[in-house]
Amino acid sequence: MPFVLCVHQPLDKSISSIGASRLRLSRIPALDCFSLLASRSPDCSEPGPGLVSGFSPPIGAPPAPFRGTVVAQLPAPLTAATPSATASRLPDRPLRVAILGATGAVGQELLDLLEEREFPVGELIPLASPRSAGQPLHWRGHDYTISEVTAEAFAGVDLVLASAGGSTSRTWAPVAAKAGAVVIDNSSAFRMDPAVPLVVPEVNPEAAFAHQGIIANPNCTTILMTLALAPLAARRSIRRVVVSTYQSASGAGARAMEELRQLSRTVLDGGVPVSEVLPYPLAFNLFLHNSPLQDNAYCEEELKMLYETRKIMGLPDLRVSATCVRVPVLRAHSEAINVEFEAPFPVEEARALLAAAPGVELIEDFGSNRFPMPTDVTGRDPVAIGRIRQDLSHPQALEFWLCGDQIRKGAALNAIQIAELLQSPTSGGR
């Protein structure tokens, strides 16, 4: 049964503005693909070197075989065990909000966005590891002391926004959920768990209402890409996606951003850069993404784009091939995307769909060769798309370029939009 996506208005400060026309990719079923091993070194999370066990068979195995044209399906109805829409909502009142990982780059952006978007915070509980506990924090005119995360810290908390790495989330997210909080987790810990929704509000908002206490925030590169793919998939079924990413230092955390600044000065002063945070110096350099390589010669980051995109869009057989590269940019990712459809897709039709898509803006000036750049989106919410063109090598494929702020839409903003969706009285639920 094909789905229908309605993409008619921009995503403003309240997700509820989408109303009856909002996208209806909902309740993603368990996928017949291999899950990613959770790591403490994903983009959009705290950096760290090691793999830990997750919910998956070996990641090096090949993806599920392609079985013809990909046609989106509405998932099967939820079972009675799934929480009701009412139970899955956040209370319509000022909330007790805990920020887990308040000292990191994404944690700081979460705090800024909560204030900027006037999210109804009745009480803020900033939490962090023992290493960061005790640090002062100033927010909305009040002084706080960051507390060490403990089970007692979640008592009476309504919402936990977690961005402290996979191992921390695996330890504390279930504790917070058991205490009654809704946890929106920015790590890779739960993304491929079939019981945990993986949500991009502009793409599959209704999936959020099937949560059982934990909602996963997708990988940053996946969020940006699905924002562009969803309106196109509404019009033509997608056969294959080939993407190359150009990922900023911010994806590896605040320490990587500072290292890029410092090593850039070192190079400009004639010195030899020595990296301590990233595996290689990023200043005036680039390298293939440093997440662990798998047996199939893809790295974790590249396979996240495959499996997470399948889950979010409800396309378990979608073919995706990614090449992920770390580049010397502070905080905005870029992606070159080639999409093959089941039938030819006129460029102007695709351009009109993307121009109307929520969370997207077009930057295109072919006359002056001006298209999206990281500086266009740094510190901003929209994902900028441009240079939409016919693939000369394939009559049913289009190519385009996008840029998006990795810390905002690629992480913190998406998490807060999920929370806004759960609290909105007009979002419709399930």
Q: Considering the domain boundaries, does residue 133 fall inside one? A: no
Q: Decide if 132 is inside a domain.
A: no
**Could you tell me how far CA 290 lies from the centroid of its own chain?**
18
Long-range contacts of range 132-137, CB-CB < 8 Å, 24 or more positions apart?
Answer: 132/102, 132/103, 135/103, 137/102, 137/111
Helix (H/G/I), strand (E/B), else coil: 99: strand
Q: How far apart are CA 195 and CA 203, in angstroms?
A: 19
| Residue numbers annotated as active site | 220, 333
pTM above 0.85, yes or no: no
pLDDT in tens, the chain (430 residues): 333 333 333 334 333 333 323 333 333 333 333 333 333 333 454 333 332 223 333 334 444 433 333 333 333 322 323 444 456 799 999 999 999 999 988 999 999 999 999 999 999 999 998 888 999 999 999 999 999 999 999 999 999 999 999 999 999 999 999 999 999 999 999 999 999 999 999 999 999 999 999 999 999 999 999 999 999 999 999 999 999 999 999 999 889 999 999 999 999 999 999 999 999 999 999 999 999 999 999 999 999 999 999 999 999 999 999 999 999 999 999 999 999 999 999 999 999 999 999 999 999 999 999 999 999 999 999 999 999 999 999 999 999 999 999 999 999 999 999 999 999 765 544 3
Pair 221, 305: CB distance under 8 Å: yes
Measured distance CA(374)–CA(402) in Å, rounded? 9
Place of tokens 């695996």: 170
Query: What does the DSSP 8-state code read for residue 417?
Result: H
Domain assignment present for residue 179? The answer is: no
**Domain count for the chain:** 1
Residue 44 belongs to a domain: no
- CA dihedral 192→193→194→195, nearest 10 degrees, is -140
User: Domain containing 263: what range?
Assistant: 222-406
Q: Is residue 271 part of a domain?
A: yes
Tokens read off for 348: 């102007």
| C-alpha to C-alpha distance for 108 and 127, rounded to whole angstroms | 12
Phi and psi, residue 8, nearest 5°: -125, -20
In a domain, 277, yes or no: yes
- Asked if residue 371 belongs to a domain, the reply is yes
Q: What is the 8-class DSSP label of residue 329?
A: -
User: Cα(first)–Cα(last) distance of the chain, in Å?
Assistant: 18
Closest among 332, 311, 422, 319 to 375, alpha carbons compared: 332
Query: Domain holding 345: CATH number?
Result: 3.30.360.10
Question: Nearest 10 degrees: CA dihedral of 297, 300, 302, 304?
Answer: 140
In a domain, residue 199? The reply is no
Question: What whole-number distance in Å separates Cα of residue 352 and Cα of residue 259?
Answer: 41
